[in-house]
Structure 1
Amino acid sequence: MTAVNTLASTVAPGQARMALRGDILYFLRDPGWSEDATGAVRFEPDGWLLIEQGRVHAVRPADEPPDASWARQDWRGHLVMPGFIDTHVHAPQLDVIASFGAALLDWLERYTFPAEARYADPELSQLGAERFLQALLAHGTTSALVFATVHKTSSEALFAVGQRLGMRLITGKVLMDSNCPADLRDDVVQAEQDCIDLIERWHGVDRLAYAVTPRFAATSSAAQLTMAGGLLQRYAQRAGGLYMQTHVAENCDEVRWIAELFPDSRSYLDVYDRRGLLTRRSILAHGIWLDDTDRQRMAQTGSSIAFSPSSNLFLGSGLFDWAKAEAAGVSVAPASDVGGGTSLCQLRTLADGYKVLALQGQRMTAWQGLYAATRGAARALDLEHEIGHFAPGTAADVVVWRWAEGAVQQRRQDMARSLHERLFAWMLLADERNVAATYVLGQLRYRPG
């Protein structure tokens, strides 16, 4: 892959006004689960996306071209969409992606913890942050909620690289003071000070935000979880408030273990709820084994679930029931969860998500899947005003995709009889090899070759 720090083609670095020409697709609202998305989707074949000073100015149909003051980039025959948003992904776990033969708890011991221990080294943290964020861009993702490691330097590196690239990035130091290796264990006092230092330095700066990040209930004491809840309350009015990211109810053995560690809590979710960790900016990964009371409580607090189908299948964790979550009023957004997942590409995540839901009699349309990975994910992150669609004033985070890469994809596109059929085939068959260009705030940041 190639990182690009200046605009190419006819657009010079710092170009104030730019027009991308291509097949423009974005969502106006939640399309629901029907194949009929009338009123929810805007599609402009051979249309114009006008970008001014890094923000969307307008979307125009093919017969309303911009005047000569707009520098043009010609992407005719390509699909132009808002950049994908990943709501749960582990930056250091690129080192162990696709490792053999482990369920969740064994996976942590055999692969994850040793990989994360290496990130105590500032130089490795910097190199890892560069590698990870460039890989996100190469896979069509322009915004992400990211797990760093327990080391302060790991978060610092992600923030610094994300700031340089202009990305909408949310991350934070992982909290772990229990049931983990000694070289990854922190303590309540030092962990709190590290979090405060990072919050004061980075939260609300440019497009960056801080996420309070207890890994999961098993690796944090009750005191540490209470401290984490206190941080959310302390900074509730700063830059929209902090985020909270963690895991919940991913694996049956894990759920049983949490019940043993916290016998006074009604459920795994209740462990977090009792300590003030459920807010409208709380994203909890997986949620496979939640019950109806848990889902009701998530809806009441505005918390969201990061649906990680590739990881759930790979680790054998179970099948997430999206219909139950939605019926309870819980927001759901797709997530790669690399390295438990097997690709950073959200198209591959959605393809696995379709299969997980199909096993339960649920059918995810292309509309619902692509909405969830763009505007729906932005809504879950409380960022619908900024990213995930092309309304005027939103950030010009854009990915240009090839409709087809290779003969099989091309033949399927040629045979499609409707826009939905075409998009559904693309969602299931395309991947990062279909990325033609990635823009962040209107700046070209990745182009293959």
Structure 2
Amino acid sequence: MSTSFRWITAVTSLAFVVAQLDVSIVNIALPEIAKTFKADMSVLQWVIDAYALAFAVLMLSAGNLSDLFGARQVFQWGMLIFGAASIGCGFAGNAGMLIAWRAVQGLGAATMIPSSLAILNQHFAHLPEIRARAVGLWTAAGSAAIAAGPIAGGVIISVSNWRYIFFVNAPLCILGMLLTLGLPKNELPELKRKIDFPGTIAWMIAITTLIGAIIEGPKLSITHPLIYGACILSAISFIVFIILEKKGTHPMLPLYLFHSGSFNVLLLLGALLNGFYYGTVFILSLYLQNVLHYSSLTAGFAFLPLTIGFVISNLASAAIINKFGIRKPILAGLIMFALGFAGLLIANEQTPYWQLFLPFLVIPMGMGLAVPAMTTGILSSVDKQLSGTASAALNTVRQAAGATGVAILGAAAAGDSTDILHAISLSVHVAIACTFLLMVLIYLKLKARY
């Protein structure tokens, strides 16, 4: 393994660690944040979704910037923005300021992630086996971070308070900025395109109004003018976005990427995995603390099997992909994902932790098999000059689905213990049904050579 491989993989993986850590570390702090700001469920959903939403809304534009100005430079911008926004979150004086800074964090994450994948693809596209290994390590780092987030959050809160879960990002971002100085410069010519401002605005309106309607719907009721007005505006904006991308000379999302059935089904896979995982971890955090009455520290360590499951399967994924292609690991991962969700059916007000351990382990193991294979398939389906845009498309779909999952399941869990248990049951049944339908599509749409 060459020094350049180690350096490039380490630097890009650090960005994924920082971005993914903030997806999950905040979950464990929600009860403390609620106490500090006297926040209700919709405010807590916005604390989570402001980040995921900005991540999803701005990812495509950031992917374009990566292809236009060079992945290394855009990567550095992302690190700087994320670090500054994290400090802002830590000093937030009210819930509104916290939500605003979380959105800025999402901007930084949206800038880092597609550029980090673009760096990997640009340097290893000509070496498929090495690229699979690099993507596996990159995914393993991010997956371990998202799973370790609740543990880290529980430890930090037990010795200080929730604000320090944001302050810890600053030194990581400074380290990332320093490490980027050793990255090889982008050798690819910059693409002669312009930023798609009309498409960006249409996409931002479409996804923001949709998620906003889902989060605020239970509080205002679906018949409220603001809710159905937001749904109508979202639908119109989506249509406008498609028209702009189809007719524009410099679209931020070239629609010809969707001519490939395998590309489409892999995007759908990303949406399913993130939507159910993000939404379920959100309500499981509430379940552990509000139903089983675990402390923040105990609840954080209860998520330890998620870290173990992700790390084991991600580290094994490269060898599995190189031996079997991507279709078989994805199918195997989806079977494990469904079985893990089925194990959550035992959750009730007196469930002992040992019964939760296995589903907490199996769900991330399934994702850890499927996600690296999915990412490798997406990157191999496009020219490496468009790797930033392709990775942005994948992660946009994943983050939008994650925000939607939190919004829907959070709305279902808004209430007492009975509502939280109902939300878990809803998540399990729908996740299993969708997973098996997707397995059929994966088998049909992905060629055997994949």
Q: In which range does the TM-score fall when normalised by the shorter chain?
A: under 0.3
Q: TM-score scaled to structure 2, two decimals?
A: 0.27
Higher helix proportion (structure 1 or 2): 2
Higher strand proportion (structure 1 or 2): 1
Higher RCO, 1 vs 2 (CA within 8 Å, ≥6 residues apart):
2
